[in-house]
Amino acid sequence: MARIKVMVVDDSAVVRQVVAGMLAHDADIEIVAAVADPILAMSRMALAWPDVIVLDIEMPRMDGITFLKKIMAERPTPVIICSTLTEKGTQTSMAALAAGAVAVITKPKIGLKQFLQDATEDLASAIKAAARANVRKLQVVEKNTADVILQAAPDRHGGAMLQTTERVVALGTSTGGTQALEAVLTRLPRVCPGIVIVQHMPEKFTAEFANRLNSLCEIEVREGKTNDRVVPGRAIIAPGGAHMLLRRSGAQYSVEIMNGPLVNRHRPSVDVLFRSVAKCAGANALGVIMTGMGDDGAVGLAEMRKAGARTLGQNEDSCVVYGMPKEAMKRGGVEREVPLGAIAREILNFGT
């Protein structure tokens, strides 16, 4: 029987070393990676997906619960939480189990190395049990398309949308996107076209993210509110927990923030934004799909391209996770792939 491929995700070098070292002696288990945070984990998972993940909760760049939810939404995989925050019956333990973890192991705050050595047999047993778990049965969230928010545009083939001098750039991204967006937006001068952005991010985090970018960028960056104008020198980020759509009145563009079902298991959804841009802007728009896991945005980018928009995908070498751009390429939505460092220049060229 094939060995169980296990990935350990923990920011403690001691945990990674001890757990990997102890489990290496089990003939049924193969440690395929031991990494310090979920962003690194996703880079490795893009190359080879593990059978079981042993996951900490407190980590830099992305916490374990957020990562767990992302895994279960995109590709359900048995996950064992191993954390100091998960005393039996605590809110964190309940949150982990509710998000799809198959088991929770509590690490002590002191005597960690000895505990891990003593608990190796228990952890190995938990991994073997987890590998047999059918985690897909935990998934009760239907994967809706953008149809639940708005219908696709009529088939114009790019010809019927009245062009204006107002240009709109739509960016969609997920895992690795916070760093990627910073790299793009900090390179833009205030004369750039108006930008609308979906970054998969939990509710209440997007306002802080937008404020941080606003402090770093020459352009204005804000979390979106209904009726916010899309104007040159301004980037609007969809708020976590809500969809954002582009609206048009004459030659002017604005955004609408609305509730609604998850689309591609996300809210905000890139597909929702891109579809609205296809309907409202057509050839006046540039669509860019960037680093991220899953396929959100792939259909919407293809609709933008059919409506006459220019479209770009971030290339594989510069992506943290080459998932969303890859799926968009498969569906014919990507006109060209470019490295992350070239996206700002492409936006400026589109605006001139």
Q: Are residues 321 and 215 in the same domain?
A: yes
Q: What is the pLDDT of residue 135?
A: 65
Average pLDDT along the chain: 87
Q: Are residues 107 and 178 in the same domain?
A: no
Record the tokens describing residue 83, joined without a space: 């954390």
Residue 70 to residue 79: CA distance in whole angstroms: 12
Q: Are residues 281 and 317 in the same domain?
A: yes
Assign 288 a pLDDT band (cuts: 50, 70, 90).
very high
Q: What is the pLDDT of residue 315?
A: 96
Query: Which amino acid makes up residue 296?
Result: D
Distances (CA, A) of 220 to 166, 182, 213, 270, 287: 17, 13, 8, 21, 20
Assign 165 a pLDDT band (cuts: 50, 70, 90).
low
pLDDT digits (tens, 9 = 90+) for 91-109: 777 778 777 788 788 777 6
Q: Are residues 198 and 347 in the same domain?
A: yes
Assign 320 a pLDDT band (cuts: 50, 70, 90).
confident
Task: Please say which residue of 77, 109, 138 terminates a domain.
Answer: 138
Q: What is the pLDDT of residue 283?
A: 94
CATH number assigned to the domain comprising residue 109: 3.40.50.2300
**What is the β-pairing status of strands 243-249 and 252-258?**
antiparallel
Q: Are residues 301 and 177 in the same domain?
A: yes
Of 34 and 82, the structure prediction assigns the larger pLDDT to: 34
Quote the Cα angle for 47-290-205, to 5°.
Answer: 100
What average pLDDT does the segment 190-217 reach? 90
Distances (CA, A) of 164 to 153, 250, 284, 310, 337: 19, 9, 7, 15, 26
Question: Under DSSP, is residue 160 helix (H, G, I), strand (E, B) or coil?
Answer: coil
Q: Are residues 242 and 131 in the same domain?
A: no
Segments forming the whole domain that contains residue 279? 146-351
What average pLDDT does the segment 213-217 reach? 95
Of 46-55, 121-130, 237-246, 265-274, the one with minimum mean pLDDT is: 121-130
Task: Please say which residue of 115, 138, 161 terminates a domain.
Answer: 138
Active-site amino acid positions: 174, 200, 296
- Residue 40: pLDDT over 90: yes
Residue 268, preceding bond cis, omega within 30 degrees?
Answer: yes
Closest to 72 (Cα-Cα) out of 106, 48, 98, 104: 98
Dihedral, CA of residue 239, residue 229, residue 231 and residue 218, to nearest 10 = -50
Q: What is the pLDDT of residue 86?
A: 57
CATH number assigned to the domain comprising residue 305: 3.40.50.180
Record the tokens describing residue 213, joined without a space: 């970018």
Which DSSP symbol is given to 27? T
- Residue 177: pLDDT over 60: yes
Of 189 and 160, the structure prediction assigns the larger pLDDT to: 189
Of 86 and 228, the structure prediction assigns the larger pLDDT to: 228
Give the CA diameter of the chain.
70
What average pLDDT does the segment 216-238 reach? 97
Q: Are residues 117 and 160 in the same domain?
A: no
Q: Are residues 108 and 40 in the same domain?
A: yes
Q: What is the pTM of this model?
A: 0.71
What average pLDDT does the segment 22-28 reach? 87
Among the residues of 82-186, which ranges form H helices? 91-99, 112-118, 120-131, 177-185
Q: What is the pLDDT of residue 25?
A: 85
If one counts the domains in the chain, the total is: 2
Distance of CA 25 to the CA centre of its chain: 35
Of 24 and 7, the structure prediction assigns the larger pLDDT to: 7
Q: Are residues 153 and 128 in the same domain?
A: no
Q: Are residues 114 and 154 in the same domain?
A: no
pLDDT digits (tens, 9 = 90+) for 256-281: 999 999 898 789 999 999 999 999 99
Task: Please say which residue of 138, 154, 172 terminates a domain.
Answer: 138
Q: Are residues 115 and 209 in the same domain?
A: no
Q: Are residues 129 and 182 in the same domain?
A: no
Among the residues of the chain, which ranges form H helices? 13-23, 38-45, 64-74, 91-99, 112-118, 120-131, 177-185, 205-216, 270-280, 298-306, 324-330, 340-351
